[in-house]
Amino acid sequence: MCRPQREDTIMVQCEKCGSKWEASSAYSKSLSVCPFCGAMLLEEEKARGYGKMDEFLGYMVKVYGEELYRNPERLKNLIGDLYGGEERVKKLFRRALVEEKLSVKVYEIAQKPKNERQPFYNRLASQFAEGNYWPVEFGLKVVGSLVSGLTGEVLEGAQPESKNRIVQVGNVRFEMVYVEGGTFQMGATEEQGEDADGDENPVHRVTLSEYLIGKHEVTQALWEEVMGSNPSYDEQGGDYPVERASWNDCQEFIEKLNARTGMQFRLPTEAEWEYSARGGNRSKGYKYAGSDDLDEVGWYGDNSDEHTHPVGRKKPNELGLYDMSGNVWEWCQDWYGDYMEESQTNPTGPQSVGTRVLRGGSGWDIASGCRVSYRYYDDPGYWYVKYGLRLVLSL
């Protein structure tokens, strides 16, 4: 199988927090967000125009939820604090969104059928005909689409953002995605085909309560912020997944993270991991996490060049989770053991049997090892360049 050519990359540094990471050279054509502190990053010449304010407004909806647009004063503050563009652009949008209360109007209009929204947007275009005002109409049109969930690809796979949580630890910010509880068939379901292994059977019914799970694998930046060191072999940037972490190392990291945040993070149970990878109650029955084409959603042996990659560069799954197939193996809380035929509610695996579960596959593995039902295990004290983690919060 031919390997795809690697995309040209550049090193990017956030002026706000100083973090560095590798980004596509196409970065210069698009707005980006610092994965560590959340600051908006724009190339200097782009910051002198209006073209990125609509993307910024869309990002605000995705992070803070649609209710933000019913609170113009908070939106005004966020524009001032986070938007990296020209001051004149900030003032323009503050006036339109806050003083003229167009954000509230957009929120209200966005709830209406499409044929009732368009006249409103047309009136905006007419009202703001002057050159300095045209971007307001376009930006609000994007916001309206985001609020009403009509953009398709922009918000595809995203959960209700109001239930997600943004967690700040020092200079590092990460997102926990809300997963609604539900019931699913766990194990070698039909779409897994002949690739399924014996320990993926019997397929059994599992019911889970709601929880939050990391949008991304734990990054090297977060690990280093908490632990003061980085065990990773592939130290290419803070937005790469931490690796060479044993299950025991992960427990120590989580204990320190909890002490620092006052929250109760943990590893996912094996059932929570599989339910999340399958897309929860939004599952479309894919073989991998978010697609039947692994190249779309994961780094594995055929496309990774045998090293890890920055988190979130592939497409997310139905819940908006990234890299659940490939990149690094993710430790689960459970001991490894045989499945039972009986239906289970919030299972936590067998009693102590010697090895702990890993899920998801890695950049060194064949495609079959990255399937949503594939199971792996290792000694809890053993670390390897392939081994990382993803966090969970109970609700």
- Verify that 266 and 200 share a domain, yes or no: yes
Residue 372 — pLDDT band, cuts 50, 70, 90?
A: very high
Whether 111 is covered by a domain: the verdict is yes
- Verify that 249 and 374 share a domain, yes or no: yes
Whether 177 is covered by a domain: the verdict is yes
Whether 6 is covered by a domain: the verdict is no
- Verify that 187 and 283 share a domain, yes or no: yes
- Verify that 191 and 261 share a domain, yes or no: yes
pLDDT the model gives residue 5: 40
Total of domains in the chain? 2
Structural domain span for residue 229 = 161-394
Mean pLDDT across 175-192? 96
Q: What is the DSSP letter of 356?
A: E
pLDDT > 80? residue 213: yes
Whether 154 is covered by a domain: the verdict is no
49-82 pLDDT, tens digit per residue, is: 445 666 676 666 666 666 666 677 777 777 777 7
> Which residues 6+ apart lie within 8 Å of 144 measured at CB?
106, 109, 110, 117, 121
Residue 87 — pLDDT band, cuts 50, 70, 90?
A: confident
- Verify that 143 and 172 share a domain, yes or no: no
pLDDT the model gives residue 196: 92
Which of 148, 169, 194 is the C-terminal boundary of a domain? 148
- Verify that 104 and 198 share a domain, yes or no: no
φ/ψ of 288, rounded to 5, equals -110, 180
For residues 190 and 182, what is the distance between their CA atoms, to the nearest angstrom? 20
User: What is the CATH classification number for the domain harbouring 166?
Assistant: 3.90.1580.10
Whether 267 is covered by a domain: the verdict is yes
- Verify that 283 and 304 share a domain, yes or no: yes
For residues 245 and 231, what is the distance between their CA atoms, to the nearest angstrom? 7
